[in-house]
């Protein structure tokens, strides 16, 4: 009996050792094949052709390192309209489009509360690190998970997620619902990185230290070109009629004395609209890696970084400006510095990076016109006045329209019902009216969007951006290259190539070297990273993993 007992004990010990060894080995193996850190980089308003246009002036350690060591998807596009910042960031990380993630604009008309809402705005949270409403933000309006959420679930909340961007929406939406933290920049007189009670009750010490250091103040300096301006042959002359410029300075020309200009340009906010805003973002991201020990163990962490200054500068000076050229040459230097830091702290080959954009941008329409390319500006006042007359003539009431925003019309469904009309008939009648208006190229009804399945063309892009619950009754497509914007600077939002075609670069652990001209779409990014990590795809992914990118 005793002997049998000891044999059983021995067998049990042996079995438990074996199973423990086996588990440990497979665990180690699984962890070994995963990056310690995934860094997602979004460059706000980066067109694909910036990679090629400025390539000869880039250094070896930034964009060119990603292309040299990693994989370049050269035909990567947004597959929905509108191509705005909120939807862009949400789509990169949720692996789907506004139709499912619900981020249908930066701001949109909320059919329930009957007011405009902001994609990251949240009245139920409080600001942290400021008293300002700039801190009342959360991802609550995003309806689906991000790959960073899935990594949190997969790792039992052991893998950290931190989101960083000058813009709140650029930090919050990528980091997802389960993030440890998201930080964004509040300029004005404060010039500090802030958060909200959605994430924490108090800023961690390292953030407070960063805010009280002279890190931000030191960028209130003179912005001049990195290299001799005469070598900037990839952009139009510095002085031209297509640029906005800063308040308090007559001409939009180098150099810009930021300290002197700051009082006429909302204090520290001026830094956001210069390349130093990107440098500050990189500084803060590196401080986060160090203080939060990101990528220090075998459990994958996720850091999302969005460089916003590129967008402010594009809006102000336009895509063809010397200011944009200088911004990208400087961003290249910031990326080099950032990658070197990752090599030193996480280890070369131990992390994986992807870089893309949230949308592109159009050349300044006045510039396009000057070189005889069809382009122009929408006369919204004339359109509204003609449309109001139509509504009064046919419905005796212009109040039949509740809201017009993001090229969509929201109808008062209750009122339409009360006067005994059918909503589909009213939509159809308005479609037929508007298509006759100047500079309106296409008009679709909600009925069409929800009853027809489009697979190609602008119709398909509109449908991918269309949320039956949140979007409007009528969708308008302006003429090609016609925008609602001031006469200087660039903007974005359309389904045209200049807005949809953006870089997609992967490099680091698990990524092959190569390039493709096969079409990829933004929602492919999240499932590709999920596949690399061996985790669930975000819950509403419509993209596909890009197998050819992975080792
Ligand atoms: Zn943007
Ligand atoms: Zn200029
Ligand atoms: Zn923008």
* Structural domains of the chain, count: 2
Give the per-residue pLDDT at 54.
Answer: 98
CA of 316 to the centre of ligand 2 (A): 10
Same domain? 121 vs 206:
yes
Grouping H, G, I as helix, E, B as strand and the rest as coil, residue 62 is coil
CATH of the domain at 432: 3.30.1360.150
CA of 50 to the centre of ligand 3 (A): 16
CA of 359 to the centre of ligand 1 (A): 6
At residue 416 the predicted structure's pLDDT band, cuts being 50, 70 and 90, is very high
Whether 534 contacts 509, CB under 8 Å? no
Say what percent of the chain tops pLDDT 90: 93
Same domain? 359 vs 457:
no
CA of 370 to the centre of ligand 3 (A): 23
Same domain? 360 vs 449:
no
CA of 358 to the centre of ligand 1 (A): 5
Give the per-residue pLDDT at 10.
Answer: 44
Q: Is residue 308 part of a domain?
A: yes
Among the bound ligands, name the one nearest to the CA of residue 255: 2
Interval 198-205 mean pLDDT: 98
**Residues of the domain holding 396:** 379-438+440-478
Q: Is 542 a catalytic residue?
A: no
Ion ligand 1 nearby residues (CB, 5 A): 44, 85, 311, 358
Among the bound ligands, name the one nearest to the CA of residue 225: 2
Same domain? 455 vs 507:
no
Longest dimension (CA), the chain: 102
Q: Is residue 272 part of a domain?
A: yes
Q: Is the dihedral of CA 487, 492, 493, 496 positive or negative?
A: positive
Question: Is 14's pLDDT higher than 70?
Answer: no
Q: In this structure, what token pair is assigned to residue 519? A: 């079409």
Same domain? 364 vs 383:
no
Same domain? 521 vs 387:
no
CA of 521 to the centre of ligand 1 (A): 17
Q: Is residue 236 part of a domain?
A: yes
Whether 433 contacts 409, CB under 8 Å? no
Same domain? 204 vs 281:
yes
Same domain? 452 vs 314:
no
Among the bound ligands, name the one nearest to the CA of residue 232: 2
Give the per-residue pLDDT at 32.
Answer: 57
CA of 20 to the centre of ligand 1 (A): 49
Among the bound ligands, name the one nearest to the CA of residue 241: 2
- Rounded to 5°, the CA angle 110-112-117 comes to 25
Q: Is residue 24 part of a domain?
A: no
Question: Is 25's pLDDT higher than 90?
Answer: no
Q: What is the pTM of this model?
A: 0.94
- For residues 348 and 352, give the distance between their C-alpha atoms in angstroms, rounded to a whole number: 10
Same domain? 356 vs 411:
no
Q: Is residue 19 part of a domain?
A: no
Q: Is residue 488 part of a domain?
A: no
- Rounded to 5°, the CA angle 524-528-532 comes to 175
Q: In this structure, what token pair is assigned to residue 80? A: 């929905």
Closest Cα to residue 401, out of 114, 119, 107, 118? 114
Interval 8-37 mean pLDDT: 52
Whether 104 contacts 173, CB under 8 Å? no
CA of 486 to the centre of ligand 3 (A): 13
Same domain? 321 vs 401:
no
The string of DSSP codes covering 478-540 is EPTTEESS-SSS----SSSHHHHB---EEEETTB--EEE-S-EEGGGHHHHHHHHHT-PPPTT
Give the per-residue pLDDT at 399.
Answer: 84
Question: How far apart, in Å, are the Cα atoms of 325 and each of 75, 220, 272, 332, 449?
Answer: 22, 20, 16, 11, 40
- For residues 551 and 297, give the distance between their C-alpha atoms in angstroms, rounded to a whole number: 22
CA of 491 to the centre of ligand 3 (A): 6
Catalytic site residue from 23, 25, 85, 212: 85
pLDDT digits (tens, 9 = 90+) for 151-191: 999 999 999 999 999 999 999 999 999 999 999 999 999 99
E strand or H helix at 449, and its extent? helix 446-451
E strand or H helix at 411, and its extent? strand 408-411
Question: How far apart, in Å, are the Cα atoms of 500 and each of 162, 216, 350?
Answer: 27, 33, 31
Q: In this structure, what token pair is assigned to residue 151? A: 């990594």
Among the bound ligands, name the one nearest to the CA of residue 90: 1
Say what percent of the chain tops pLDDT 70: 94
Sheet of 474-478: strand order equals: 401-405, 408-411, 474-478, 440-445
For residue 82, whether the previous peptide bond is cis, meaning omega lies within 30 degrees of 0, is: yes
Same domain? 466 vs 327:
no
Q: Is residue 226 part of a domain?
A: yes
Contacts of 158 (CB under 8 A, 6+ apart): 299
Same domain? 360 vs 386:
no
Q: Is residue 485 part of a domain?
A: no
E strand or H helix at 108, and its extent? strand 107-110
């Amino acid at each position: 009996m005793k002997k049998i007992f000891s044999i059983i004990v021995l067998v049990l010990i042996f079995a438990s050792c074996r199973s423990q060894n086996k588990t440990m080995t497979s665990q180690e193996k699984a962890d070994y094949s995963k990056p310690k850190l995934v860094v997602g980089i979004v460059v706000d308003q980066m067109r694909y052709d910036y990679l090629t246009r400025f390539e000869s002036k880039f250094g070896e350690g930034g964009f060119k390192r990603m292309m040299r060591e990693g994989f370049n998807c050269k035909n990567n596009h947004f597959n929905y309209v509108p191509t705005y910042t909120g939807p862009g960031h949400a789509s990169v990380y949720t692996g789907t489009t506004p139709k499912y993630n619900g981020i249908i604009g930066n701001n949109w008309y909320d059919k329930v509360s009957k007011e405009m809402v902001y994609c990251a705005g949240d009245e139920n949270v409080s600001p942290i690190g400021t008293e300002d409403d700039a801190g009342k933000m959360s991802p609550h309006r995003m309806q689906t998970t991000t790959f960073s959420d899935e990594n949190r679930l997969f790792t039992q909340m052991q893998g950290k997620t931190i989101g960083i961007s000058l813009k709140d929406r650029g930090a919050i939406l990528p980091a997802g619902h389960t993030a440890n933290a998201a930080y964004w920049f509040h300029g004005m007189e404060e010039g500090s990185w802030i958060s909200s009670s959605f994430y924490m009750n108090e800023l961690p010490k390292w953030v407070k230290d960063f805010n009280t250091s002279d890190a931000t103040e030191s960028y209130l300096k003179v912005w001049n070109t990195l290299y001799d301006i005469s070598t900037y042959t990839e952009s139009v002359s510095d002085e031209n009629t297509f640029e906005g410029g800063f308040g308090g300075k007559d001409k939009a020309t180098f150099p810009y004395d930021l300290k002197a200009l700051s009082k006429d340009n909302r204090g520290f906010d001026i830094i956001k609209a210069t390349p130093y805003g990107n440098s500050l973002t990189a500084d803060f991201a590196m401080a986060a890696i160090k203080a939060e020990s990101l990528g220090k163990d075998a459990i994958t962490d996720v850091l999302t970084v969005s460089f916003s200054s590129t967008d402010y500068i594009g809006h102000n000076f336009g895509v063809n400006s010397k200011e944009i050229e200088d911004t990208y040459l400087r961003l290249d230097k910031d990326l080099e510095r950032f990658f070197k830091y990752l090599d030193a702290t996480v280890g070369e080959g131990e992390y994986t990076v992807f870089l893309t954009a949230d949308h592109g941008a159009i050349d300044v329409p006045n510039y396009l016109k000057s070189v005889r390319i069809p382009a122009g500006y929408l006369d919204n006042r004339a359109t509204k006045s003609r449309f109001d007359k139509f509504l009064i003539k046919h419905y005796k009431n212009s109040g039949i329209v509740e809201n017009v925003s993001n090229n969509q019309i929201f109808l008062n469904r209750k009122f339409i019902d009360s006067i005994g009309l059918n909503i589909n008939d009213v939509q159809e009648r308005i479609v037929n009216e508007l298509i006759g208006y100047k500079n309106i190229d296409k008009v679709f009804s909600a009925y069409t969007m929800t009853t027809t399945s489009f697979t190609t063309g602008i119709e398909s892009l509109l449908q991918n951006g269309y949320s039956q619950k949140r979007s409007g009754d009528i969708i308008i497509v302006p003429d090609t290259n016609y925008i609602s914007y001031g006469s200087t600077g660039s903007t974005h939002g359309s389904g045209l190539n200049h807005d949809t075609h953006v870089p997609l670069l992967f490099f680091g652990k698990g990524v092959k070297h190569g390039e493709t001209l096969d079409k990829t779409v933004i929602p492919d990014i999240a499932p590709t990273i999920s596949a690399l990590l061996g985790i669930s795809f975000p819950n509403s992914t419509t993209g596909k993993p890009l197998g050819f990118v992975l080792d």
